[in-house]
Chains A and B, each alone.
Chain A
Amino acid sequence: MTTKTLFIGMDGCTYTVLNEMTKDLPGEGVAMPFLASLMAKGVRAKLRSTPNPLTPPAWTSIMTGKGPGEHGVFDFIRAEDKGGEVYWTLYDSRDVDAEMIWSIASRAGKTIAALNFPLTAPPPKETNGAIVPGFIPAKHLRRNSHPAGLFERIKQAIPGFDPKELAWDFDKEKQAMESLSDADMENWVRYHLPREEQWFHIAEYILANDKPDLMAVMFDGTDKIQHQAWQFLDPSLMPAERSELYNRVRGVCREYFGNVDRYIKRLVELVGPDAQVFFASDHGFTATVEVLRINSYLEDLGYLKWAESDGSEQALRREASDFANLDWSKTVAYCRTPSSNGIYIRVAEKPGDPGIPKKDYNRVRDKLIEDLKKLRNDDGEPVIVDVLKREDWFQGAHMKDACDLTLVLRDNGFVSIRNVKPPVVKRPNPIGTHHPDGIFMAYGAGISAEGMVGKRKIVDVAPTLLHSLGLPTPSDFEGKVAETFFSGAWLSENPVKIGAPTVRGGEREKSEEMDDNEKKQIIEQLQMLGYME
């Protein structure tokens, strides 16, 4: 058995940084010489992300070939509006209402490995191969790894294996969006070096020993580092005179990318010259220069009322959390989480319920869009450059779960939902934010050497990987095979085929049976939401 397809995910990776890292810079050299050589011999395109370019919906689109309206994942947090209160839960793999490529390939008799991808826990039991999920705390990694016994196998086989170093740490990850001191900034970047090394060692071990047909690993330090250290990475923000701090933090960032280059080299060597290698990111990156406190603006417009605080420790913690804390009886439109970048409009199910009557929905929504587009910063520039209606951007079985309106800010920033005035302020320094254009690249046998080709959609990654494996595109996929990625000769021998639609696993069917119960469910968020003592 040999690996046909190697897929390396790099969360938030963008050509803005990748071009710098693969270039010979005066005094700095080339941080990623191996990737530079692959890019010179392969093909690449910009990859357009999901309408809200965010990790959970975007990686789920990469894994399912479908958009959020179909797969049903919109944010890190899933919320249910109960009329008098909104209850919160985390999305998990059972909420993904579309078959993932790991399952599609398994059904076709292929073996797979999927390491560090979000929304893969709990792992589907029918998977033919290895899953070690991403975004799961260390204490829960063993039980969420597949197959049973894999975690122990890794623990015994890999010297220095440390799940605490490897896994998601909620307290640490929260720092990605916080303002850090100089020392903390450097430590933040350094924290990701051993983490990524751990994931590399697992990938190397699985690839060398199991040789799955489809080998996939995701490195997510790229995203986390770019959020905080963007000013040290974006060439357009480089100061004329570099400070000692600038050189130090930039040096650690380049060390990180240099390490990733070493991982790529080893994994590509392991799959050999007959394999095809793909790279993709869930979104790109750019600089955000101002803060939009969206709920504060909605309050000014009369759509929203904040919850009264009793001053208790619990109330203060709740106020400071990243989940909207509102007076639900008097709120008509609000933003739930910063990552959603969206606004929900509350519609009363029956007279007396909070929210607007159904018949007023279009009128209220149109007025709200008008109000949002009027907002200007101190320089008179519009802050919100586009407002996406859900029926235009999230068509599918789960459209009703999407935000009524998704905001596109002029600097691609994520909104703040804090109760602070004024609604728009300049940031003291630019920080990183998600850009809708990520990367999609390929190299190897049968891959074109065209260099940059036309932009692709994020839903095109899944059918392209399946095609590389020799499998047809399921007829219900939204995405198409990136045919420009393959050489003419290879495509002639391996024409694109459309096959049977995807299927839903047993897990999915069981979950759907419980839909009514699910609607009543309040899953625990406790201390993380600031709810619990």
Chain B
Amino acid sequence: MANDLSNGKLTSEQLVPKLAALLKDFTQDWDSEFEGQMDRGTTLLADLGFESIDIIQLVVAIEEDITHKKVAFDKLLMKDGRYVDDLSIGQIADFLATQL
């Protein structure tokens, strides 16, 4: 796969469908009750049934398939010294757009 980000920065709007496609593949064989389209507002824990280890794996998948390099995800995952309660696809896209 070509480096998606090698030809210039992607905007948050461009990143949302990429993340949704990745998450669709990521969760395709989970016993998830989520139905419908994934969009900016879809959340990892509440909607997609993520657990802690799934977030670790998602970070790896984003770095492998979208950014093609390691990203300082701590800035997204921690707020005021505590881990965030949940994340939406939009929040991840907004974050990646500022980091890359």
Partner-B contacts on A (CB < 8 A):
85, 87, 89-90, 92, 94, 121-122, 137, 139-140, 142-143, 170, 510-511, 513-514, 517-518, 520-529, 531-533
Q: Tell yes or no: B34 within 8 A of A by CB.
A: no
Residue pair A122, B54 in contact (C-beta under 8 Å) = no
Please indicate which of the listed interface residues B54, B61, B69, B70 has the most CB atoms of chain A within 10 Å of its own CB: B70
Q: B46-78 toward A: CB 8 Å interface, digit per residue (1/0)? A: 000001111111011100100011111110011
Bound CA–CA A89/B69 (angstroms): 17
Q: Tell yes or no: B35 within 8 A of A by CB.
A: no
Q: Please pick, from B25, B60, B69, B83, the residue contacting A526 in the complex, using a CB distance under 8 A.
A: B83
- 8 Å CB contacts to A: which residues of B10-44? 25-26, 29-30
Residue pair A521, B54 in contact (C-beta under 8 Å) = no
Residue pair A85, B74 in contact (C-beta under 8 Å) = no
Please indicate which of the listed interface residues A137, A513, A524, A525 has the most CB atoms of chain B within 10 Å of its own CB: A524
Residue pair A122, B53 in contact (C-beta under 8 Å) = no
**B29 (CB) vs chain A CBs: closest residue:** A142
Residue pair A122, B56 in contact (C-beta under 8 Å) = no
* Chain A neighbourhood of B78, CB < 8 A: 522
Residue pair B69, A139 in contact (C-beta under 8 Å) = no
Residue pair B77, A524 in contact (C-beta under 8 Å) = yes
Bound CA–CA A518/B71 (angstroms): 7
* Chain A neighbourhood of B81, CB < 8 A: 85
Q: Tell yes or no: B85 within 8 A of A by CB.
A: yes
* Chain A neighbourhood of B61, CB < 8 A: 143
Bound CA–CA A513/B72 (angstroms): 13
A sample of 10 more A-B contacts (CB under 8 A), given A85-B81, A518-B70, A523-B74, is: A137-B53, A139-B29, A142-B29, A143-B26, A143-B57, A514-B70, A521-B73, A521-B74, A524-B77, A532-B83
17 A-B Cβ contacts within 8 A? A89-B56, A90-B56, A121-B60, A137-B57, A139-B54, A140-B53, A143-B25, A521-B70, A522-B73, A523-B56, A523-B74, A524-B52, A524-B56, A524-B77, A527-B52, A528-B53, A531-B82
Bound CA–CA A374/B64 (angstroms): 49
Residue pair B85, A533 in contact (C-beta under 8 Å) = yes
Bound CA–CA A92/B63 (angstroms): 13
Residue pair B64, A525 in contact (C-beta under 8 Å) = no
Q: Please pick, from A87, A122, A532, the residue contacting B52 in the complex, using a CB distance under 8 A.
A: A532
Bound CA–CA A68/B79 (angstroms): 34
Residue pair B83, A510 in contact (C-beta under 8 Å) = no
* Chain B neighbourhood of A531, CB < 8 A: 82-83
* Chain B neighbourhood of A522, CB < 8 A: 73-74, 77-78
Residue pair B30, A139 in contact (C-beta under 8 Å) = yes
Would A122 and B64 be within 8 Å (CB), given that A524-B55, A528-B52 are in contact?
yes
Shortest C-beta distance, B91 to chain A (Å), equals: 14
Shortest C-beta distance, A532 to chain B (Å), equals: 5
Would A514 and B74 be within 8 Å (CB), given that A524-B59, A532-B52, A532-B85 are in contact?
no
Would A122 and B60 be within 8 Å (CB), given that A514-B69, A517-B72, A532-B52 are in contact?
yes
